[in-house]
């Protein structure tokens, strides 16, 4: 089986572009590849899914134990001829920026994956070899197996490749030339989402064609051929679907981990997608509501003008519908939301705060969430790993839980009671009791409504 992790010395090296090019080319070659993303990122997996037509999964060693990550990887890779894992940030950049914990290197080390280093040769030549040698020696084993040059013209590749191989001892497995027609724009949370790129499939086809012509496929495949991972070690009995859970899935709410939805399904839920932007009301017969993160600030007017949906959600939550809202979903449940241009729009009105534009990342990064009391999802004193990534804030963030960073910083956050949780932190549900608790509450609510 072909397996490798794409890493880079730093962000901005074009890992996602190269991942899409290689995935599309591997698909065209009949390998039926699957994809993974290191870390908590939501956007890059959307591009993987756009290429493959199947889910891309996150592998995050802050959220998951090594055993669980191995199980998730083996489960996701089963039945595929190739598995491509895209790293995050720089190769060794992990928790707090000062640790390899949850870094791409730790994922490669945990899964014993060969690493192809993506290097964008801009403004350096021999110095690139010095940087790569530093990466090779920084941790043992480094798992570095080869080099891919990105955004590199053919003439430059011919000059750099033999020098890099001689200086580092690593084979250079080809390059991806500049493909300006396939460029994808970015904004405050990174790339535009895959669904917003109208000609994405055309861009992917161009990348695949370029990769087919400029990647040294025989070399790459020989570097990355290794036995398929052992059978998944996460033994999870899938319960019979017993309750519908409405899941917001549209351009405003698109940040939901595939593993979270799969865990809900395994716990007995039937996730039912709906659009707070376009649908008039919640899906009929839903026993629970999940509002994940996304870009509500970019769709604030459309969300606000869908008055019937806002009323449907406000009434359902008031009636005790088990509800979970994370980040963007949390902002949607507030009183108002400021859009990117400064306009103020009424939201669902479930919570007291106003969503406001800050213009910078707020409380960014990994944290640990501690529950102060029993509630829908949490039990007093329990701790869960979370992640925050947002440029908007709320005037009322709640006090039901305490979030703490590795550097000792703490803050109160979240609203929670026996049928409700809402807050900025993104939860990672897989491997936790959260899916079973949410589904049990939804089933109980549904049964009570049915008996009335």
What is the full DSSP assignment across 67-109? HHHHHHHHHHHTT-SEEEEE--SSTT--GGGS--TTSHHHHHH
202 or 234, greater pLDDT = 202
Q: What is the pLDDT of residue 451?
A: 60
227-231, 302-306, 351-355: least confidently modelled range: 227-231
Q: What is the pLDDT of residue 183?
A: 81
Q: 9 and 130 in contact (C-beta within 8 Å)? A: no
Q: What is the pLDDT of residue 59?
A: 97
What does DSSP say about strands 190-191 and 186-187: parallel, antiparallel, or unpaired?
Answer: antiparallel
Whether the pLDDT of residue 449 is over 60: the answer is yes
Out of 20, 34, 38, 327, which one is annotated catalytic? 327
Q: What is the pLDDT of residue 436?
A: 97
Structure tokens at 77: 């890779």
How far apart are the C-alpha atoms of 121 and 87, rounded to whole Å? 19
Q: What is the mean pLDDT of residues 398-423?
A: 96
How far apart are the C-alpha atoms of 3 and 80, rounded to whole Å? 10
Whether the pLDDT of residue 33 is over 60: the answer is yes
How far apart are the C-alpha atoms of 66 and 126, rounded to whole Å? 37
At 279, the pLDDT band (50, 70, 90 cuts) reads very high
Domains of the chain plus CATH, in order, are 2-224 (3.40.50.300), 243-451 (3.40.50.880)
Whether the pLDDT of residue 189 is over 60: the answer is no
230 or 249, greater pLDDT = 249
Q: What is the pLDDT of residue 153?
A: 97
Instruction: Give which of 151, 176, 144 is closest to 21, Cα–Cα.
Output: 176
Q: What is the pLDDT of residue 425?
A: 97
pTM: 0.91
Whether the pLDDT of residue 14 is over 80: the answer is yes
Q: What is the mean pLDDT of residues 177-190?
A: 75
Q: Which long-range contacts (CB under 8 A, 24 or more apart) does 195-202 make?
A: 195/46, 195/251, 195/254, 196/251, 200/47, 200/50, 201/50
Q: What is the pLDDT of residue 187?
A: 53
| 86 DSSP β-pair partners | 6, 37
Q: What phi, psi does 327 have (nearest 5°)?
A: 55, -105
At 191, the pLDDT band (50, 70, 90 cuts) reads low
Q: What is the mean pLDDT of residues 326-341?
A: 97
Q: What is the pLDDT of residue 97?
A: 86
Q: What is the pLDDT of residue 54?
A: 78
How far apart are the C-alpha atoms of 97 and 89, rounded to whole Å? 10
How many C-beta atoms surround the C-beta of residue 75 within 10 A? 18
Q: What is the pLDDT of residue 193?
A: 73
Whether the pLDDT of residue 450 is over 80: the answer is no
What's 3's DSSP letter? E
Cα–Cα distances (Å) from 354 to 275, 364, 393, in that order, read 22, 20, 8
Structure tokens at 329: 């979903």
How far apart are the C-alpha atoms of 158 and 207, rounded to whole Å? 20
Cα–Cα distances (Å) from 99 to 90, 96, 104, 282, in that order, read 12, 7, 11, 43
> Can 327 be counted among the known catalytic residues?
yes
Whether the pLDDT of residue 40 is over 80: the answer is yes
What angle (nearest 5°) sits at the alpha carbon of residue 354, between those of residues 348 and 358?
Answer: 130
Q: 245 and 440 in contact (C-beta within 8 Å)? A: no
Instruction: Give which of 428, 54, 64, 33 is closest to 46, Cα–Cα.
Output: 54
Structure tokens at 2: 């072909």
Whether the pLDDT of residue 194 is over 80: the answer is no
Whether the pLDDT of residue 393 is over 70: the answer is yes
Give pLDDT tens digits for 79-134. 999 999 999 999 999 998 899 999 999 999 999 999 999 999 989 999 999 999 99
Average pLDDT, rounded, for the chain: 94
At 237, the pLDDT band (50, 70, 90 cuts) reads low
Q: What is the pLDDT of residue 82?
A: 97
Q: What is the pLDDT of residue 249?
A: 97
Q: What is the pLDDT of residue 119?
A: 97
Q: What percent of the chain has pLDDT over 90?
A: 84
Q: What is the pLDDT of residue 100?
A: 96
At 406, the pLDDT band (50, 70, 90 cuts) reads confident
SS3 274: strand
Residue carrying structure tokens 């595929």:
80
| 288 DSSP β-pair partners | 245
């Amino acid at each position: 089986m072909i397996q490798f992790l794409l890493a880079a010395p730093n962000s901005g090296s074009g890992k996602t572009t190269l991942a899409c090019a290689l995935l599309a080319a591997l698909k065209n070659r009949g390998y039926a590849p699957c994809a993974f993303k290191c870390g908590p990122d939501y956007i890059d997996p959307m591009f993987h899914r756009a290429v493959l037509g199947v889910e891309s999964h996150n592998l995050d060693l802050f959220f998951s134990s090594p055993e669980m990550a191995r199980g998730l990887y083996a489960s996701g890779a089963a039945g595929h001829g190739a598995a491509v894992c895209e790293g995050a940030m720089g190769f060794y950049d992990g928790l707090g920026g000062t640790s390899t914990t949850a870094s791409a290197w730790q994922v490669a080390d945990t899964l014993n994956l060969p690493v192809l280093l993506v290097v964008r040769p801009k403004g350096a030549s021999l110095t690139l070899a010095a940087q790569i040698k530093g990466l090779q020696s920084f941790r043992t084993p480094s798992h570095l197996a080869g080099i891919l040059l990105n955004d590199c013209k053919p003439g430059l590749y011919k000059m750099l490749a033999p020098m890099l191989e001689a200086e580092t001892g690593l084979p250079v497995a080809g390059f991806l030339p500049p493909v300006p027609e396939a460029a994808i724009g970015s904004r405050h949370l990174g790339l535009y989402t895959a669904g917003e790129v109208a000609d994405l499939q055309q861009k992917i086809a161009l990348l695949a064609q370029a990769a087919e012509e400029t990647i040294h496929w025989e070399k790459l495949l020989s570097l990355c051929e290794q036995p398929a991972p052992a059978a998944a070690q996460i033994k999870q009995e899938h319960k019979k679907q017993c309750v519908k859970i409405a899941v917001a899935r549209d351009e405003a709410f698109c940040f939901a981990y595939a593993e979270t939805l799969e865990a809900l399904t395994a716990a007995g839920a039937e996730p039912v997608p709906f659009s707070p932007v376009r649908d008039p009301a919640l899906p009929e017969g839903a026993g629970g509501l999940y509002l994940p993160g996304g870009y509500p600030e970019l769709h604030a007017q459309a969300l606000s003008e869908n008055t019937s949906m806002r009323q449907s959600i406000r009434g359902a939550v008031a009636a005790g519908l088990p509800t979970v809202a994370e980040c963007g979903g949390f902002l949607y449940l507030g009183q108002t939301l400021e859009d990117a241009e400064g306009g103020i729009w009424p939201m669902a009105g479930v919570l007291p705060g106003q969503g406001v534009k800050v213009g910078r990342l707020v409380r960014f990064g990994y944290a640990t969430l501690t529950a102060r009391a029993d509630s829908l999802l949490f039990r007093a004193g329990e701790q869960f790993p979370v992640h925050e990534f947002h440029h908007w804030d709320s005037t009322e963030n709640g006090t039901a839980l305490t979030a703490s960073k590795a550097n000792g910083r703490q803050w109160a956050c979240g609203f929670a009671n026996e049928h409700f949780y809402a807050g900025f932190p993104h939860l990672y549900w897989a491997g936790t009791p959260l899916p079973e608790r949410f589904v049990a509450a939804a089933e109980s609510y549904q049964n009570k409504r049915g008996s009335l």
